[in-house]
């Protein structure tokens, strides 16, 4: 069995303005990010309680917040693309699974999201381009 480690960020409300809405459209009150990062197991199973031994995710979360706040987005897909580029700048991230969803969708209910999964080969291709 292949060893792997995951860092999971769930239900993070990001301050993104996404879409263009008419007078009768349902305007989302929240955009939510779920992000699962695959990293080396040695960054989780560590010999000592030291930050230098683990993946420090705080700079990534700060960058995601900057990206979300930086502009008006037309699509969730482009926002995801920007977040993926930020993730690719961290060599420790081997693969990822990202979802951005909005709520509500209809009648003050539901959520609707876009999800993308990139494996190690996808990340290597992204980093080389």
How much is the pLDDT for 1? 59
β-pairing, 95-103 vs 112-118, is antiparallel
Residue 83 makes CB contacts below 8 A (sequence gap 6+) with 33, 35, 64, 67, 98, 100
How much is the pLDDT for 102? 96
| Full set of structural domains in the chain with CATH | 5-128 (3.30.1130.10)
How many angstroms separate the CA atoms of 92 and 40, rounded? 7
User: Reduced to 3 states, what is the DSSP secondary structure of residue 5?
Assistant: strand
Q: Cα separations (Å) of 110 from 1, 47, 102?
A: 38, 44, 9
| pTM, 2 dp | 0.94
How much is the pLDDT for 100? 98
* Series of mean pLDDT values for 10-residue runs along the chain (129 residues): 89 96 91 98 97 97 98 97 98 98 93 97 96
How many angstroms separate the CA atoms of 2 and 24, rounded? 51
Residue 42 makes CB contacts below 8 A (sequence gap 6+) with none
């Amino acid at each position: 069995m292949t060893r792997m480690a995951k860092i999971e960020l769930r239900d993070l409300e990001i301050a993104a303005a996404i879409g263009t809405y008419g007078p009768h459209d349902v305007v989302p009150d929240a955009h939510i990010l779920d992000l699962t990062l695959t990293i080396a197991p040695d960054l989780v199973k560590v010999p000592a309680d030291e930050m230098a031994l683990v993946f420090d995710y705080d700079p990534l979360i700060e960058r995601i917040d900057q990206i979300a706040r930086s502009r008006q987005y037309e699509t969730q897909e482009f926002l995801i693309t920007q977040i993926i580029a930020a993730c690719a700048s961290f060599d420790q991230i081997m693969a990822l699974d990202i979802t951005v969803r909005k709520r509500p969708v209809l009648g003050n209910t539901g959520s609707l999201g876009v999800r993308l999964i990139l494996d190690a080969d996808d990340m290597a291709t992204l980093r080389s381009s």
